[in-house]
Amino acid sequence: MIISFIRTIILYFAVIVSMRIMGKRQIGEMQPFELVVTLMLSDLAAVPMQETGIPLLAGLVPVCTLLVLEVVLSFISMKSKRARAFLLGRPAIIIRGGKLDRAEMQRLRINIDDIEDELRKKDIKSVDEVEIAILETDGNISAFPKSDNASLPYTFISDGRIIEENLGKCGVSKKQLRKMLGAVRPEDVFLATYTRDGGLTVQKK
Protein backbone atom coordinates (compact mmCIF):
# COMPACT_ATOMS: atom_id res chain seq x y z
CA MET A 1 0.00 0.00 0.00
CA ILE A 2 2.75 2.46 0.98
CA ILE A 3 4.71 1.59 -2.18
CA SER A 4 1.67 2.36 -4.35
CA PHE A 5 1.18 5.63 -2.47
CA ILE A 6 4.77 6.73 -3.04
CA ARG A 7 4.76 5.65 -6.71
CA THR A 8 1.56 7.61 -7.30
CA ILE A 9 3.05 10.77 -5.76
CA ILE A 10 6.22 10.48 -7.86
CA LEU A 11 4.32 9.91 -11.11
CA TYR A 12 1.87 12.68 -10.25
CA PHE A 13 4.64 15.23 -9.88
CA ALA A 14 6.38 13.90 -13.01
CA VAL A 15 3.23 14.55 -15.07
CA ILE A 16 2.64 17.94 -13.42
CA VAL A 17 6.20 19.05 -14.23
CA SER A 18 5.78 17.81 -17.80
CA MET A 19 2.52 19.72 -18.27
CA ARG A 20 4.08 22.88 -16.80
CA ILE A 21 6.96 22.68 -19.25
CA MET A 22 4.55 22.12 -22.14
CA GLY A 23 2.62 25.29 -21.29
CA LYS A 24 -0.73 26.41 -19.92
CA ARG A 25 -3.06 25.96 -22.87
CA GLN A 26 -6.57 24.70 -22.29
CA ILE A 27 -7.58 21.44 -23.98
CA GLY A 28 -9.58 23.29 -26.66
CA GLU A 29 -6.59 25.46 -27.54
CA MET A 30 -4.08 22.63 -27.96
CA GLN A 31 -2.57 21.75 -31.29
CA PRO A 32 -3.07 18.10 -32.43
CA PHE A 33 0.41 16.90 -31.44
CA GLU A 34 0.12 18.62 -28.05
CA LEU A 35 -3.19 16.88 -27.37
CA VAL A 36 -1.72 13.50 -28.38
CA VAL A 37 1.21 13.99 -25.98
CA THR A 38 -1.16 14.99 -23.15
CA LEU A 39 -3.36 11.90 -23.62
CA MET A 40 -0.34 9.60 -23.84
CA LEU A 41 1.17 11.10 -20.68
CA SER A 42 -1.94 10.24 -18.69
CA ASP A 43 -2.01 6.66 -20.00
CA LEU A 44 1.70 6.05 -19.44
CA ALA A 45 1.53 7.35 -15.87
CA ALA A 46 -1.63 5.38 -15.01
CA VAL A 47 -0.19 1.92 -15.68
CA PRO A 48 2.72 2.05 -13.14
CA MET A 49 0.35 3.59 -10.59
CA GLN A 50 -1.96 0.57 -10.76
CA GLU A 51 0.60 -2.19 -11.28
CA THR A 52 3.24 -2.23 -8.52
CA GLY A 53 5.00 -5.11 -10.29
CA ILE A 54 6.00 -2.77 -13.11
CA PRO A 55 9.24 -0.86 -12.40
CA LEU A 56 8.73 2.83 -11.69
CA LEU A 57 11.21 3.70 -14.42
CA ALA A 58 8.89 1.99 -16.91
CA GLY A 59 6.55 4.92 -16.36
CA LEU A 60 9.06 7.73 -15.85
CA VAL A 61 11.19 7.02 -18.94
CA PRO A 62 8.29 7.22 -21.45
CA VAL A 63 6.96 10.36 -19.71
CA CYS A 64 10.35 12.07 -20.00
CA THR A 65 10.73 10.86 -23.60
CA LEU A 66 7.39 12.36 -24.60
CA LEU A 67 8.25 15.60 -22.83
CA VAL A 68 11.55 15.90 -24.72
CA LEU A 69 9.80 15.05 -27.99
CA GLU A 70 7.14 17.71 -27.43
CA VAL A 71 9.72 20.39 -26.60
CA VAL A 72 11.81 19.49 -29.67
CA LEU A 73 8.77 19.54 -31.99
CA SER A 74 7.64 22.88 -30.54
CA PHE A 75 11.10 24.36 -31.16
CA ILE A 76 11.22 23.01 -34.72
CA SER A 77 7.74 24.32 -35.52
CA MET A 78 8.73 27.73 -34.16
CA LYS A 79 11.80 27.92 -36.41
CA SER A 80 10.53 26.23 -39.58
CA LYS A 81 7.46 27.35 -41.51
CA ARG A 82 7.27 24.01 -43.38
CA ALA A 83 7.51 22.00 -40.17
CA ARG A 84 4.86 24.23 -38.59
CA ALA A 85 2.52 23.64 -41.53
CA PHE A 86 3.12 19.86 -41.33
CA LEU A 87 2.63 19.60 -37.56
CA LEU A 88 -0.06 22.21 -37.02
CA GLY A 89 -1.69 22.63 -40.42
CA ARG A 90 -2.54 25.97 -41.97
CA PRO A 91 -5.33 28.44 -41.21
CA ALA A 92 -8.07 28.16 -43.84
CA ILE A 93 -10.42 30.88 -45.11
CA ILE A 94 -13.99 29.54 -45.05
CA ILE A 95 -15.92 32.79 -45.66
CA ARG A 96 -15.03 35.53 -48.15
CA GLY A 97 -17.17 38.60 -48.66
CA GLY A 98 -20.17 37.03 -46.95
CA LYS A 99 -19.98 33.84 -49.06
CA LEU A 100 -19.14 30.37 -47.74
CA ASP A 101 -16.29 28.55 -49.46
CA ARG A 102 -17.95 25.17 -50.08
CA ALA A 103 -14.83 23.50 -51.47
CA GLU A 104 -12.82 24.46 -48.39
CA MET A 105 -15.62 23.33 -46.09
CA GLN A 106 -15.70 19.92 -47.77
CA ARG A 107 -11.93 19.58 -47.52
CA LEU A 108 -12.03 20.44 -43.80
CA ARG A 109 -15.21 18.40 -43.18
CA ILE A 110 -16.96 21.30 -41.46
CA ASN A 111 -20.67 22.02 -41.90
CA ILE A 112 -22.81 25.16 -41.96
CA ASP A 113 -24.25 24.53 -38.49
CA ASP A 114 -20.76 24.45 -36.95
CA ILE A 115 -19.84 27.74 -38.61
CA GLU A 116 -23.08 29.50 -37.67
CA ASP A 117 -22.73 28.28 -34.08
CA GLU A 118 -19.23 29.83 -33.84
CA LEU A 119 -20.44 33.07 -35.43
CA ARG A 120 -23.29 33.40 -32.91
CA LYS A 121 -20.76 33.08 -30.08
CA LYS A 122 -19.10 36.18 -31.56
CA ASP A 123 -22.43 38.07 -31.74
CA ILE A 124 -22.57 37.73 -35.54
CA LYS A 125 -26.08 36.83 -36.66
CA SER A 126 -25.49 35.89 -40.28
CA VAL A 127 -22.78 34.76 -42.69
CA ASP A 128 -23.70 37.78 -44.80
CA GLU A 129 -22.26 40.08 -42.12
CA VAL A 130 -18.79 38.48 -42.36
CA GLU A 131 -16.10 39.86 -44.65
CA ILE A 132 -13.70 37.03 -43.88
CA ALA A 133 -13.69 34.06 -41.50
CA ILE A 134 -10.68 31.86 -40.84
CA LEU A 135 -10.60 28.37 -39.35
CA GLU A 136 -7.51 28.47 -37.14
CA THR A 137 -5.17 25.53 -36.59
CA ASP A 138 -6.60 24.94 -33.09
CA GLY A 139 -10.12 24.53 -34.50
CA ASN A 140 -11.45 27.96 -33.48
CA ILE A 141 -12.95 30.35 -36.04
CA SER A 142 -11.81 33.96 -36.29
CA ALA A 143 -14.44 36.15 -37.97
CA PHE A 144 -14.17 39.76 -39.13
CA PRO A 145 -17.40 41.67 -39.87
CA LYS A 146 -17.59 43.64 -43.10
CA SER A 147 -17.37 46.93 -41.20
CA ASP A 148 -14.00 45.80 -39.80
CA ASN A 149 -12.49 44.90 -43.16
CA ALA A 150 -10.28 48.00 -43.29
CA SER A 151 -8.61 47.03 -40.01
CA LEU A 152 -8.06 43.36 -40.85
CA PRO A 153 -4.36 42.68 -40.13
CA TYR A 154 -2.09 40.83 -42.56
CA THR A 155 1.28 39.40 -41.54
CA PHE A 156 3.90 40.64 -44.01
CA ILE A 157 6.99 39.36 -42.19
CA SER A 158 7.27 36.51 -39.69
CA ASP A 159 10.63 35.85 -38.01
CA GLY A 160 12.57 37.46 -40.85
CA ARG A 161 10.61 35.75 -43.66
CA ILE A 162 8.43 37.72 -46.06
CA ILE A 163 4.92 36.26 -46.53
CA GLU A 164 4.46 36.89 -50.25
CA GLU A 165 0.91 35.51 -50.25
CA ASN A 166 -0.24 38.28 -47.91
CA LEU A 167 1.61 40.92 -49.91
CA GLY A 168 -0.38 39.84 -52.94
CA LYS A 169 -3.69 40.01 -51.07
CA CYS A 170 -2.98 43.64 -50.18
CA GLY A 171 -1.52 44.59 -53.55
CA VAL A 172 1.87 45.41 -52.02
CA SER A 173 5.11 44.50 -53.80
CA LYS A 174 8.40 43.56 -52.15
CA LYS A 175 9.83 46.87 -53.31
CA GLN A 176 6.99 48.78 -51.61
CA LEU A 177 7.46 46.70 -48.45
CA ARG A 178 11.17 47.55 -48.30
CA LYS A 179 10.26 51.20 -48.75
CA MET A 180 7.84 50.95 -45.81
CA LEU A 181 10.58 49.34 -43.69
CA GLY A 182 13.05 52.12 -44.47
CA ALA A 183 16.47 51.28 -43.09
CA VAL A 184 15.23 48.10 -41.40
CA ARG A 185 16.07 44.85 -43.21
CA PRO A 186 13.34 42.15 -43.45
CA GLU A 187 15.65 39.57 -41.85
CA ASP A 188 15.95 41.84 -38.78
CA VAL A 189 12.15 41.90 -38.29
CA PHE A 190 10.46 39.49 -35.88
CA LEU A 191 6.92 40.47 -36.87
CA ALA A 192 5.50 43.02 -39.32
CA THR A 193 1.73 43.37 -39.71
CA TYR A 194 -0.18 45.57 -42.12
CA THR A 195 -3.67 47.08 -42.08
CA ARG A 196 -5.12 49.21 -44.84
CA ASP A 197 -6.09 51.96 -42.43
CA GLY A 198 -3.13 51.76 -40.05
CA GLY A 199 -0.21 50.91 -42.30
CA LEU A 200 2.76 48.77 -41.28
CA THR A 201 3.58 47.87 -37.67
CA VAL A 202 7.07 46.47 -37.13
CA GLN A 203 8.55 44.57 -34.20
CA LYS A 204 12.30 43.98 -34.50
CA LYS A 205 14.10 40.87 -33.28
CB of 95 closer than 8 Å to CB of 127: yes
| Structural domains of the chain in order of their starting residue, each with its CATH number | 2-87 (no CATH), 92-149 (3.30.240.20), 153-204 (3.30.240.20)
| Spatial separation of the C-alpha atoms in residues 128 and 98, rounded to whole Å | 4
What Rg, from alpha-carbon coordinates, does the chain have? 22
Nearest to 96 by CA among 125, 137, 135, 138: 135
Strands (E), the chain: 92-96, 99-100, 130-135, 141-145, 154-158, 161-162, 189-195, 199-204
In the chain, the percentage of residues whose pLDDT exceeds 90 is: 10
User: Does 24 score more than 60 pLDDT?
Assistant: no
The Cα-based distances of 105 to 94, 113, 144 in angstroms read 7, 12, 18
In order of 17, 31, 40, 53, 87, the CA distances from 36 in angstroms are 17, 9, 6, 27, 12
Tell me which of 136 and 28 has the higher pLDDT: 136
Comparing 1-5, 123-127, 134-138, 149-153, the range with the smallest average pLDDT is 149-153
Tell me which DSSP letter residue 29 carries: G
Q: Is the pLDDT of residue 150 over 60?
A: no
Given a cut of 60, whether residue 149 has pLDDT beyond it is no
pLDDT tier at 156, thresholds 50, 70, 90: very high
Question: What average pLDDT does the chain have?
Answer: 81
* Residue 34, CA atoms < 13 Å, CB-side half-sphere: 22
What pLDDT, in 10s, does the model give residues 157-175? 988 889 888 888 888 899 9
Phi-psi region of 26 (alpha: psi -120 to 50; beta: other; left: phi over 0): beta
pLDDT of residue 10: 80
Q: Specify the pLDDT at position 157.
A: 92
Q: How far apart are CA 59 and CA 40, in angstroms?
A: 11
What is the CA angle 61-33-133, rounded to 5? 160
